[in-house]
Structure 1
């Protein structure tokens, strides 16, 4: 084989190895944020809605208990800012918090952020259609005063309160569709996916641990193929085919 042929083989192997490394770097990771562990590990005592992640979690047991409390020490966030939130609605926000605090499968969507309380955030996590739809349906009769809960609150009392002249309305006033709820409430942390559970292409907010964690396969899918800004097998395929053709030619 000629020297150029060996050179192309080397470049192809390097491209493949680089893609695998970048993909692997996005699997089984924890965000650099306020309450996250440095790396995921077993947590046998995770509380209630956070328990599906006990085999491999980015949260501690204490964090999982606090997630279930209103205005807890985690962020002093009051979900009852417009009267008592219904239990069905609150359950989705607890599961949302468990996913955020505990999941090690959000790596493909972790982005750096300049903030006083965290160095990383998630952006455009593809949330399964059923999750968005049910979240919206169960919160229709609850009330809020804002469509973006990430910012803009009045914190003078130490917990979040509605800004002046921000009126309380049913969720459907600020979130007319399931997609608007999922995508706007946490500043695009989620993207309302058109894919459903079982597709392997969307993240479930919650799952039955007896059936395994479906989000592991979803994270791998995006890490190795289609997550923005990382190695894409699809994009690299022409290069690999060209390498093979040149090798056959020489």
Structure 2
């Protein structure tokens, strides 16, 4: 009578011999797939979180820097800035941007400190990769950042420290008078309190450097926003945050490639 071959029949052993190698190959491919799911986001994300901007002020690669100056110290273990750059960031007229923060008189000490921290963050942090954008000033390809999500406390503290200081512009990157080889307030732009130009903390964070920063609704330790400064004795909290955003940016690519690969394996003969 017909029916399935018994475990002792020659046909059973023949089928078992044919399926054995195929099952082993299938198992190996599934191991490779699982490895890709686990490792690929990290490998690609690492290229976005541990990089320096392409500019004349930044190092080519991040690395340790001894004796970074004051507010730049948190990045000594892994920095995109040099000691010289960290020192220049603390000058009353930073050479980095050919710009005087005293264009409307002295900033309050607390306000000035926040600006120096923001400069150190921009120049030293190796965790801005997901937000780096190419720019082409004067025909030379450089990079800038756009939409870096600063934690809510960072924007609020910065705004609170500066609300009694004065400025003539809400955008400190563009629209200055260059007639004297340095940035000066344009004509008919009087010096007014920060509150006039920046009614809210979000306004300050987002307008001051032409949307380089974005005011995040998230708070510190949420894993969804970056701190523009942290205690030098503390490990860098922005590493994990940048990795999260790097993987999120990668997700659309992975959502097509890896599932397609999975289906190929699923229906592999």
Task: Please confirm whether the aligned pair reaches a TM-score higher than 0.5, indicating the same fold.
Answer: yes
Indicate which of 123, 128, 148 corresponds to 1:106: 128
Out of 215-224 and 92-101, give the one that drifted further.
Answer: 215-224
> In structure 2, the residue corresponding to 1:120 is in which secondary structure?
strand
Q: Is the 8 A contact 1:38 1:58 kept in 2?
A: yes
> In structure 2, the residue corresponding to 1:64 is in which secondary structure?
helix
Structure-2 change in CA distance of 1:155 and 1:13 (3 Å):
farther
> In structure 1, the residue corresponding to 2:49 is in which secondary structure?
coil
Matched, 1:195 2:223: no
Q: CA deviation at 1:164?
A: 0.5
Q: Is the 8 A contact 1:70 1:77 kept in 2?
A: no
- After TM superposition, the structure 1 = structure 2 runs for residues 17-28 of structure 1, keeping only pairs within 5 Å, are 19-28=41-50
Aligned residue number for residue 143 of structure 1:
166
- After TM superposition, the structure 1 = structure 2 runs for residues 109-128 of structure 1, keeping only pairs within 5 Å, are 109-116=131-138, 119-128=142-151
Aligned residue number for residue 15 of structure 2:
none
TM-score, structure 1 normalization? 0.87
C-alpha separation between the residues in 1 aligned to 2:61 and 2:69? 19
Aligned residue number for residue 228 of structure 2:
205
C-alpha separation between the residues in 2 aligned to 1:118 and 1:234? 27
**Could you say which structure has the larger radius of gyration?**
2
Q: CA deviation at 1:9?
A: 6.0
Write out per-residue CA displacement over residues 192-244 of structure 1, whole angstroms, 9 at most, x where no aligned residue.
Answer: 001100111111010012221101111111111x23xxx11796289639936
Indicate which of 195, 202, 224 corresponds to 1:172: 195
Indicate which of 96, 99, 104 corresponds to 1:77: 99
Q: Is the 8 A contact 1:12 1:240 kept in 2?
A: no
C-alpha separation between the residues in 2 aligned to 1:45 and 1:196? 30
- The alignment covers a number of residue pairs equal to 245
Structure 1: tracts of 5 or more residues without a match: none
Structure 2: tracts of 5 or more residues without a match: 1-21
Aligned residue number for residue 156 of structure 2:
133
Write out per-residue CA displacement over residues 95-129 of structure 1, whole angstroms, 9 at most, x where no aligned residue.
Answer: 00000110101111111111136611111000000
Indicate which of 39, 47, 58 corresponds to 2:80: 58
Structure-2 change in CA distance of 1:141 and 1:188 (3 Å):
same
TM-score, structure 2 normalization? 0.81
Q: CA deviation at 1:72?
A: 3.0
> In structure 1, the residue corresponding to 2:157 is in which secondary structure?
helix
Structure-2 change in CA distance of 1:180 and 1:204 (3 Å):
same
